Amino acid sequence: MLKTINYNGDLKEIANKLNNRKEEISEEVNNAVNGIIQDIRKNGNQALFDYCKKFDGYEIKDEQDLIVSDAEKEAALKEVDEDYIRILERTKKQITEFHKNQIDKSWSLYKDNGVIMGQMVRPIERVALYVPGGTASYPSTVLMNAVPAKLAGVKDLVIITPVKADGKVNPVIVAAAKVSGVNTIYKFGGAQGVAAIANGTETIKKADKIVGPGNIYVATAKKLSYGVVDIDMVAGPSEVLIIADEKANPKYIAADLMSQAEHDKLASAMLVTTSQSLVEEVNKELKRQIAYLSRKEIIEESLKNYGGAIIVDNLDEAFEVSNYLAPEHLEILVENPVNTLPKIKNAGSIFLGEYTPEPLGDYMSGTNHVLPTGGTAKFYSALGVYDYVKYSSYSYYPKNVLETFKDDVQTFAKSEGLDAHANSIAVRFEDQ
């Protein structure tokens, strides 16, 4: 099932295959979303209400219909099994344990000459978490986004999620919100929901940042709203790359490749190995295991178009390929996997050893599953506490210290043609 490529040093050929799967935002989608954004900016609530009725069938009669009430939350929570709540709590604990180490602190520097310099770390004040609605329900994403935000100190954290005509939010989303400490859940989503929370309306307070996954319209709305509001990232189709030696278990490799391929027909699942015989065994396992899986057609399409096996001469070449592709998920199935960490330059999240499969990271390992895709791990990081804070620098200079800098600063300013900058320094010493 996996097409085999013998690595000959041509990394661009492999990368082009994966890059071709990226869906370009069509002009039609771009124009439609931009129209929605402009309408929301101009007409506020009424435009939002109209789009919710048009796209989701949900009729909003007044402001109360925008938010999940306490009574609705209570009813929803009764539908969630207690053991599932336990799993959510355990997941929160795991995510907290990992992410609390990312908390940054303000600092100050006091110099002998009286100068004080430093940096303040402050949480973003209001963040909106987008959660897909309908049949696609991802309580894990609620936790992955909300827990780091809470650790960062975000006080005003809200969820926006589309609902159908009945106006009900999936109970597991309500449960995940409760476990995460998110009290406000808005009943709107889509491009119109992003536009409303990015710009604000008569009754909806503008957010400072929007995080969370969505369809092409949601992703486009986030992208077009960037600058008015901050966003986490514009993520593409999911991907996994597995580096394996000849001793790796083909059963595990096949299962892990399919666990990503089932996401989407555009998902990518790649194996990089030193063993041709391993590829043959993996193909046998793919055929055997896929027969029992409900998303068989999606998996087959994904593996056919964007899956494959790359045969390399040695593990150094394997890491060369991986670092060039910068995969979202990277599994290392070799002897002494922890010792390979120094070889890894670019990867969203790394899974070491045969008992650390990628789905563990999707749910409960503690690391974040909001990750850069499409090679952007070369310059983007996994979502973390640092995404929910901002940094302000400060300085204090006494007059006698500024005097030792005044001539150099003025010369620098004048060299750039900024006389007013130079004057700002000069006027402070005119009477001397």
Reduce the DSSP state of residue 127 to 3 states and report it: strand
Q: pLDDT (tens digit, 9 = 90+) per residue, 128-149?
A: 999 998 666 899 999 999 999 9
Closest to 299 in 3D by CA, of 327, 257, 328, 331? 257
Confidence of residue 174 (pLDDT cuts 50, 70, 90): very high
**Tokens at 242, concatenated:** 């597995």
**CB proximity list for 158: less than 8 A, separation 6 or greater:** 126, 127, 128, 129, 182, 184, 185, 186, 197, 207
Residue 135: per-residue pLDDT: 62
- Residues annotated as catalytic are 328-329
Please count the CA atoms within 13 angstroms of the CA of 303 that sit on its side-chain side.
26
**Tokens at 91, concatenated:** 């997941």
Confidence of residue 156 (pLDDT cuts 50, 70, 90): very high
pLDDT at residue 427 above 80?
Answer: yes
Residue 136: per-residue pLDDT: 67
Confidence of residue 22 (pLDDT cuts 50, 70, 90): low
Residue 235: per-residue pLDDT: 82
Question: In terms of pLDDT, which residue wins out, 20 or 62?
Answer: 62
Residue 129: per-residue pLDDT: 98
Residue pair 220/240 in contact by the 8 Å Cβ criterion: no
Residue 25: per-residue pLDDT: 62
Confidence of residue 72 (pLDDT cuts 50, 70, 90): very high
Residue 152: per-residue pLDDT: 98
Residue pair 247/335 in contact by the 8 Å Cβ criterion: yes
Residue 431: per-residue pLDDT: 79
Residue 21: per-residue pLDDT: 60
pLDDT at residue 42 above 80?
Answer: yes
pLDDT at residue 24 above 60?
Answer: no
Residue 387: per-residue pLDDT: 98
Region 369-375 average pLDDT: 93
CA distance 369 to 372: 9
Region 9-20 average pLDDT: 69
Give the DSSP H or E segment for 241: strand 239-244
Residue 150: per-residue pLDDT: 98
**CB proximity list for 182: less than 8 A, separation 6 or greater:** 129, 142, 146, 157, 158, 159
Q: pLDDT (tens digit, 9 = 90+) per residue, 281-323?
A: 999 999 999 999 999 999 999 999 999 999 999 999 999 999 9
Q: What torsion, rounded to 10 degrees, do the Cα atoms 328, 221, 306, 299 define?
A: 90
Confidence of residue 114 (pLDDT cuts 50, 70, 90): very high
CA angle (83, 84, 87) in 5-degree steps: 90
pLDDT at residue 89 above 90?
Answer: yes
pLDDT at residue 415 above 90?
Answer: yes
Beta-ladder partners of 116: 110, 396
Confidence of residue 12 (pLDDT cuts 50, 70, 90): confident
Amino acid at 2: L
Residue 20: per-residue pLDDT: 60
Residue 236: per-residue pLDDT: 84
Give me the chain's average pLDDT, please.
95
DSSP code of residue 166: T
Concatenating the DSSP letter of every residue in 359-408 gives HHHHHTSSS------TTGGGT-----GGGGEEEEEEEE--HHHHHHHHHH
Residue 19: per-residue pLDDT: 59
Confidence of residue 183 (pLDDT cuts 50, 70, 90): very high
CA distance 123 to 153: 5
Residue 8: per-residue pLDDT: 86
CA distance 386 to 179: 22
CA distance 233 to 212: 9
CA distance 272 to 288: 21
Residue 17: per-residue pLDDT: 60
**Tokens at 190, concatenated:** 């889509």
